[in-house]
Amino acid sequence: MAGALGSAALIYLLVDRALSGPRYSGQTTDHFDGRKFHNLEGPKRRGFVDFLRWKLTGKRGEWHRWNESQPGAPPPMRVDGEKLRITFVNHATVLIQTGSLNILTDPIWSDRASPFT
């Protein structure tokens, strides 16, 4: 079991290094030690026991009823000249239209948020 966990951790680290961008290194500041950023003020570091306590004793928020709403008019096919039109599609998807150019932003257009099945 320990061998499997160790192997999984090693694979995770290798994949993380292979798929991530270059690490930032720069001048040391009050919130950057040259390799890592950290909050000057904020919540204390919490562990797994704190997570379990929160999940087991936390109170659920109120569940709001569904509010039916009608969609707005569809955006134009193109926006000409120096005009700018931004249409919120849903969640993290935005349609940006300017200078007869359409740009659709969305981090995920797939069944999963992973490079692996």
- DSSP string for residues in 20-85: S-PPP----BTTB-SS-B--SSSPPP--HHHHHHHHHHPPPPP-PPP------PPPPS---TT-EE
Position 63 scores a pLDDT of 83
Position 112 scores a pLDDT of 74
Q: Is residue 40 part of a domain?
A: no
Q: Is residue 13 part of a domain?
A: no
Ranges of residues in the chain whose predicted pLDDT is under 70: 17, 20, 43, 107, 109, 117
Sign of the alpha-carbon torsion through 8, 13, 18, 21 = positive
Which range marks the domain in which residue 83 is found? 76-108
Q: What are phi and psi of 56, to 5 degrees?
A: -85, -25
**Number of folded domains that form the chain:** 1
Helix (H, G, I), strand (E, B) or coil at 106: coil
Helix (H, G, I), strand (E, B) or coil at 108: coil
Q: Is residue 50 part of a domain?
A: no
Q: Is residue 3 part of a domain?
A: no
Position 109 scores a pLDDT of 66
Round the CA-based radius of gyration of the chain to a whole number and report it.
23
Q: Is residue 92 part of a domain?
A: yes
CB 64 within 8 A of CB 54: no
